[in-house]
Structure 1
Amino acid sequence: MKATGIVVEYNPFHNGHLHHLKQSQIQTSSDITIAVMSGNFLQRGEPALVDKWTRAKMALDAGVDLIVELPYAFATAQASDFAKGAIFLLDALKCDTFCFGSEEGSIASFEHTYNLLSSKKLEYNEAISQFVKQGISYPKALNEAYKSISRFSEEPLVDLSKPNNILGFHYLEAARQLNSPIQPATIQRVVANYHDDARETESIASATGIRKVLFEEKELSKVHSFLPSTSIAGLEHWLEHAESFGSWERFYPLLRLIILRQNKKSIAKYAEVTEGIENAIWNAAVKNEHFQPFMEQIKSKRFTWTRIQRMLTHIYTDFTWDQLRAIEYPTYIRPLAMSSSGQAYLQSIKKDLQLPLVSRVAASKENILLQLDIKAANLYYLGLQTNYGASMVGSDFRQIPFRQ
């Protein structure tokens, strides 16, 4: 069986994701699709709208054959490490191809960009350093450095100011650095861009736009046109039990408690907390009862909203610099859901897997990365502050992969 891999968050699974899934299958002529999916905390440093099990079930019902979890340490990392962890797992799962959505839509441009930055690595890194010294944010420094290096190429290059292009570049980079035989492919995003608001006249909206509608309107019916029926059913089931969607506004009382129960200096031990921002985080927690003004007080030209949220995620989950520095690659494959075809594929490659396959976490108590996932899941459910959330603490030990 020919397998293609995709890297997803599905927060939530919407019509754009369904388009990507179907086009990936067509473009790569694959028999099955394997998704590496983030757990309960995401790459932009925020709690998922609904938990990983609900999102995995949505993906399975929509036609993904195998959904495996991207460990917390990679799911909440900057783009390059996020991509490294995801592509490592797709390679370990013997995927022939991986396919990502991008604003660019041409894989040749990604190849040209990778070749340029590889050949001009010293100049590129020096330019980044110079722009950072000017006091601008790291993502903006990357973009400015890239512009300065682009003059060395006569080939078409990718616009690395676009969020999906950035991730796509890092996926290809990760595959090349792993010396993986897995082949890249891309399809162009349609209608909605990454941060666009949802428009009632369209059938495709960004996940960001859909979440915004859900948080502001508080009615699931307002987003029905953007979601397949399987996702609507999944969200309805979640609300029936959990009563609330996951969000930083919901989690903020616990986050604030965690910040204020320690001194400013100790906050600096958490992953990605740097350059004295622990002082701003602690001071903002003292003054603000709600998450939005708390964030607005901290944000600056040097630190983007996303970067601060990733720091807060690590503070919330007690993930430190020491833990982060000790992690290089995923150390297991953990299925969350699988179709009959996904099960057959796993069985066919099982003897050749270089990583342990974990279906029940109780059998892998010594795995450090897995323990981080379990802790993150428990803290996610506590952050919901509902009876359902409290009842789900420890559920990683009870839940087995969904099968179809």
Structure 2
Amino acid sequence: MNAVGVVVEYNPFHNGHAYHVRQAKKQTSSDVAIAVMSGSFLQRGEPAIISKWARTKMALQNGVDIVCELPYIYAVQKAETFANGAVSILDALKCDSLFFGSEDGDITVFHRTAYAWHQKKTEIDFLTKEKVKQGLSYPAAAASAFQEAVSSEKLLDLSKPNNILGFHYVKAIMERLSSIQPFTSKRVASEYHDEQLPENQKIASATSIRKALKEQNSFQAVTPYLPSTTLKQLQSYQSTYGLLHEQEAYFSFLKHAFHTMDTAELQEIYEIEEGIEYRMQKAIKHASSYEQYLSLLKTKRYTWTRLQRMNTHILMRVKKKTMHELLEEKEAPYIRLLGMSRKGQQYLSLVKKELDVPLVSKLSSFSHPALDLDIRAFRVFSLPICEPMQTSLTEAEFKTSPIRYDEESGLF
């Protein structure tokens, strides 16, 4: 059986994702699709709109055969670390290929750009550090350094979000000497950061879908852009837990973290550096909302996304020492299985004996400091939910076995 890997957040799963899964299988001639999916908190430092278990069901109902969790140590990170973690898991699962959407859509350009980067790595790293010192954000500094060090003719536009991630996937595959073959297709219809729902088409960005759900407090506007199964999962989650998760719901908990941590403790938190902690302490006292707080923090040097990740690490109380130790290993420490179809189960049965990394299906059967962070993230994620449903959800983290889905009957 051939397996194609996809790296996803499914926040939430929409028609564009369904198209992506179909294309992944078709263009790579694969029997199964394996999704490495971010857990409770996502790359931009935001909470997922619903739990990873509900998003796993969405994926399995729409063509994905295996869903594994991308651990917190990789998920809430800059693109390079995010991609390295995801590729290490797909490599461990013996994937034949990796499929991703991009603004460019031509895999040869990704290969060419990754090779050019490899040739000039030392110079690019030096220039990036110098440009960060000059006040540029890390993404802007890295893109500028690359352009300066390498002739950019016929190379990738690294100012585009999906191109950036795709570049790091291809680079990670190259650096690992992995046998995974990367494939890409051009993103259709909506751009990653589009905030408005498009007219006369059925594919919208997850950003615009979340925005519409928040502003209109209704599922009606987003219904055309979602598979019916996704709509049912969203409605069921909101009905059961009383909310769809969004950043503002965590603001009071973030304030509590600041009120109970002194400056020395704050300085130990991962990604807190260059005195940003003093700016944070001042801003939190004058902000009445999360958005206002970030607006007070925002500078040219720090992107909105990086600030959101910092604040998620504060909520989680993740220390630099802990994260640096966990990231020293180049291999994912485990594979957390969230769900599988019947075909996915057949694939796992075939490769299980070849796996060099523990496959975790029950939390009671495995222990690791990185997994402890995943568990903590789920507990923090559940904080805005009222009791007794908050406890019910967090207990499910330990009681829920990998979800099994019968694609023929459509039943779990």
Q: CA deviation at 1:318?
A: 1.5
Contact 1:48/1:246 (CA < 8 Å) preserved in 2? yes
Q: CA deviation at 1:202?
A: 2.5
Pairing of 1:4-403 with structure 2 (within 5 A):
4-151=4-151, 156-197=154-195, 198-327=197-326, 328=329, 329-364=331-366, 366-385=367-386, 387-403=388-404
Q: Does the residue aligned with 1:222 lie in a helix, a strand or coil? A: coil
Counterpart-to-counterpart distance in 2, 1:386 and 1:190: 42
What's the Cα RMSD here? Answer: 1.2
Counterpart-to-counterpart distance in 1, 2:227 and 2:156: 31
TM-score (norm: length of structure 2):
0.95
Contact 1:95/1:182 (CA < 8 Å) preserved in 2? yes
Contact 1:382/1:393 (CA < 8 Å) preserved in 2? no
Q: Sequence identity, in percent?
A: 44
Counterpart-to-counterpart distance in 1, 2:299 and 2:12: 29
Amino acid in the other structure paired with 1:181:
S
Counterpart-to-counterpart distance in 1, 2:284 and 2:131: 31
Counterpart-to-counterpart distance in 2, 1:330 and 1:283: 38
Q: Does the residue aligned with 2:17 lie in a helix, a strand or coil? A: helix
Q: Does the residue aligned with 2:268 lie in a helix, a strand or coil? A: coil
Counterpart-to-counterpart distance in 2, 1:211 and 1:387: 26
- Unaligned 5+ segments in structure 2 are 406-412
Amino acid in the other structure paired with 1:352:
E
Structure 1 residues 387 and 285, CA, compared in 2 at 3 Å: closer, same or farther? farther
Q: Does the residue aligned with 2:4 lie in a helix, a strand or coil? A: strand
Counterpart-to-counterpart distance in 2, 1:376 and 1:85: 17
Q: CA deviation at 1:399?
A: 0.8
Q: Does the residue aligned with 1:326 lie in a helix, a strand or coil? A: helix
Q: CA deviation at 1:357?
A: 1.1
Structure 1 residues 386 and 109, CA, compared in 2 at 3 Å: closer, same or farther? farther
Counterpart-to-counterpart distance in 1, 2:164 and 2:384: 31
Amino acid in the other structure paired with 2:249:
R
Counterpart-to-counterpart distance in 1, 2:26 and 2:124: 36
Contact 1:128/1:141 (CA < 8 Å) preserved in 2? yes
Contact 2:4/2:33 (CA < 8 Å) preserved in 1? yes
Counterpart-to-counterpart distance in 2, 1:104 and 1:224: 29
Amino acid in the other structure paired with 2:245:
G
Amino acid in the other structure paired with 1:289:
S
Q: CA deviation at 1:149?
A: 2.6
Aligned length: 401
Q: Which moved more, 1:353-362 or 1:128-137?
A: 128-137
Deviations 1:316-371 (A, max 9, x none): 1111101110113321111111000000100111111101111110111x311111
Amino acid in the other structure paired with 1:211:
R
Counterpart-to-counterpart distance in 1, 2:133 and 2:278: 21
Amino acid in the other structure paired with 2:90:
L
Q: Which moved more, 1:65-74 or 1:126-135?
A: 126-135
Q: Which moved more, 1:353-362 or 1:117-126?
A: 117-126
Amino acid in the other structure paired with 2:191:
N
Deviations 1:221-262 (A, max 9, x none): 110111111111110111110111111101111111111111
Counterpart-to-counterpart distance in 2, 1:388 and 1:201: 39
Counterpart-to-counterpart distance in 2, 1:382 and 1:196: 29
Deviations 1:194-232 (A, max 9, x none): 101222432111111111111111111110111111111
Q: Which runs of 4+ in 1 moved over 4 A?
A: none
Structure 1 residues 168 and 239, CA, compared in 2 at 3 Å: closer, same or farther? same
Structure 1 residues 112 and 254, CA, compared in 2 at 3 Å: closer, same or farther? same
TM-score (norm: length of structure 1):
0.97
Q: Which moved more, 1:114-123 or 1:53-62?
A: 114-123
Q: CA deviation at 1:289?
A: 2.2
Counterpart-to-counterpart distance in 1, 2:386 and 2:268: 27
